[in-house]
Chains A and B, each alone.
Chain A
Amino acid sequence: MAHTITAKTPGVFYRKPSPDAEPYVADGATVAEGDVIGLIEVMKTFREVKADAAGTVATWHVADEDEVSIGQELVELDT
């Protein structure tokens, strides 16, 4: 089964908490529901993107620092 996490707001998507930091989740990592998987910056604020299902990170549909729109698919999880 697959589950796709989508953007709830538009903005700039970040996989890392800061430019020099490690990504919140590595490829192939396992995430629990509620885990932070990235940030979206919009209106000069950063909002955490949380996994709304548990699973392992399968495919990223966006790259770090991509501009995303509401409802855009961010990452696919194998659940």
Chain B
Amino acid sequence: MSILVRDPGLETTVQDTGRFGHYAIGFPPSGALDSFAYHVGNALVGNAPGAAGLEAVYLGPTLEFTTDTVIAVTGADIPATLDGEAIPLWESVAVRAGQTLAFGQLTGGARPYVAIAGGIDVPTVYGSRSTYTLVGMGGFGGRGLAEGDELVPGEDAVAPRAGRRLADDDVPTYPEIAELRLLVGLHSYRLTPDSLERFTDTAWKVTPDANRVGYRYRGAELEFVPREQPFGAGSDPANVTDCGYPVGSVQVPGGVEPIVLLQDAVTGGGYATLGTVVSVDRDRLAQTKTGDRTRFVSVDLDEALTIRRDRAAQLDRIRTALS
């Protein structure tokens, strides 16, 4: 009973909801970058929430199933086929032993997710099956999948069934310019008011340096307020005394290329952060790709919490509808 990796794609990793409780010793959470696509995938195939699935980027993997199962492809807009026959996205599909799942050229978004009935059986490391490639821990051997790997389905199936389909209204669309809502703050006072305005006025372009660690953008230059640097920070105006970085926080080393830190990022350091992308919008960010445009929209804490509650209610409704 296994799933054979015929072609791993660009970087396909095993991910779950993430590894929590170890941030203070330097473990970022890892886990699926687009948590909506990941959670809906599990709901579609009838898995318990938190079952491990596959996250790919730009190129989907080619997988051969040696056992009958149920799968669902969610996330990016990408043609998916079983033995060459197109299968729908955002819908659970029966797979017979011997069939091969393959992907065509992505047309929207960036990251396809593959949920498999039962999840994927890899050891839990520090409480999670998520892959953290930087130190080679978690997931499948601490690394992205490689040709010839054999994945074993897990035991997180609750009610596997083909033919469950996400309502059209709930299927996300990926606009030309992604809008990421963020709370300005933390060390935003280090930037000139002009620069802070420029940050939210600019349609930033995603650079090729965009992965699970973080996304780097180009599009404008930002300036720091001149000051005598405090003891311990170091002499660069972009530096502060080293501190913790929230997941989703935005830093601007050198003032030229803002970086949004993601689920595999460093947990702390000495760059001034100007704000934090709200947690729900990391899903949107995960579906942007190199060359795409992104705009940052300032929200306050109450709006951020409303966005979070709305998303939780939507997922509850989807899970109920699909169960």
Contact = CB atoms under 8 A, between A and B. Distances in A.
A61 to B, nearest CB: 15
B58 A10 contact: yes
Given A9-B58, A70-B58, A43 B289 contact: no
Interface string B105-129: 1110000000000000000000000
Contacts of B185: none
Interface string B199-211: 0000000001111
A43 B105 contact: no
Interface string B160-178: 0000000000000000000
Interface residues of B, number: 15
B291 A69 contact: yes
Contacts of B290: 10-11, 42, 67, 69
Contacts of B277: none
Interface string B6-33: 0000110000000000000000000000
Interface string A27-49: 00000000000000111110100
A72 to B, nearest CB: 9
A8 B105 contact: yes
A8 to B, nearest CB: 6
A11 to B, nearest CB: 5
Contacts of A11: 208, 290
B208 A41 contact: yes
B59 interface: yes
Contact of A10 (B11, B107, B208, B211): B208
Looking at A44, A47, A70, the one whose CB has the most chain B CB atoms below 10 A away is A70
A47 B8 CA distance: 13
B102 interface: no
B10 A9 contact: yes
A45 B8 CA distance: 14
Interface in A17-75: 41-45, 47, 67-71
A12 B291 CA distance: 10
B57 interface: yes
B289 A67 contact: no
Contact of A70 (B11, B105, B209, B210): B105
Contacts of B291: 10, 67-69
Given A10-B289, A11-B290, A44 B59 contact: no
Contacts of B106: 70
B150 to A, nearest CB: 23
A68 B291 CA distance: 7
Nearest to B207: A67
Contact of B208 (A8, A12, A70, A71): A12
A17 B208 CA distance: 18
A50 B179 CA distance: 35
Contact of B57 (A12, A41, A43): A43
A67 B206 CA distance: 11
B211 A44 contact: yes
Nearest to A10: B290
A28 B191 CA distance: 52
A41 B106 CA distance: 18
Nearest to B10: A9
A42 B208 CA distance: 5
B59 A43 contact: no
14 contacts: A6-B105, A8-B105, A9-B59, A10-B289, A10-B290, A11-B208, A11-B290, A12-B208, A43-B57, A43-B210, A45-B10, A68-B291, A70-B58, A71-B105
Sorted nearest first, the 7 A-B pairs with minimum C-beta distance are A10-B290, A43-B211, A9-B58, A69-B291, A11-B208, A10-B291, A10-B289
